[in-house]
Amino acid sequence: MVKFGSEEWGKQFCQKLNESEAYNKAAETWEGDFVFVMEFEDGTKEVRLYVDLWHGKCRGTAIVGSDKEAEFIMSGSYSNWVKVAKKELDPIQGLMTGKFKLEGDMAKIMRATKAAVELVNCVTEVENVEF
């Protein structure tokens, strides 16, 4: 089992992105990195997963500190990230309804909705995940 949001989970997620023809095609012109921030409801900590995305490929992931800069920072509660991973919540819908916050160019994200859909599909393909 791999813990959702862990460094090992991030590596497996990156591998799924790189194996996905659908993601590669949908994101072939995408240039931009993300930090996905998972905030625990009890307020004790957060996990910040850096994902380096470039022209339909994942160039790497890492757990990072709050000083790591990226073109996009998307944050939300851990429970909402779990809903995304289980395909119970669309991340774009989550942004529109305030379940997630985005720092960065929202218009750029909206022009790449197909890539976002395929990215989420890859999230759900990571196997043996512990939530």
Residue 126, number of CB atoms within 10 A of its CB: 19
Q: What is the pLDDT along the chain (131 residues), one digit of tens a residue?
A: 999 999 999 999 999 999 999 999 999 999 999 999 999 988 778 999 999 999 999 999 999 999 999 999 999 999 999 999 998 998 888 988 999 999 999 899 889 989 988 998 899 999 999 99
Give, rounded to a whole angstrom, the gap between the first and last alpha carbons of the chain: 10
Q: Which two tokens stand for residue 1?
A: 């089992």
Contact between 77 and 39 under an 8 Å Cβ cutoff? The reply is yes
Classify domain 2-130 at the CATH superfamily level: SCP2 sterol-binding domain (3.30.1050.10)
- How much is the pLDDT for 17? 97
Domain range list for the chain: 2-130
pTM of the model as a whole = 0.91
Contact between 65 and 48 under an 8 Å Cβ cutoff? The reply is yes
3-state secondary structure of 58: strand
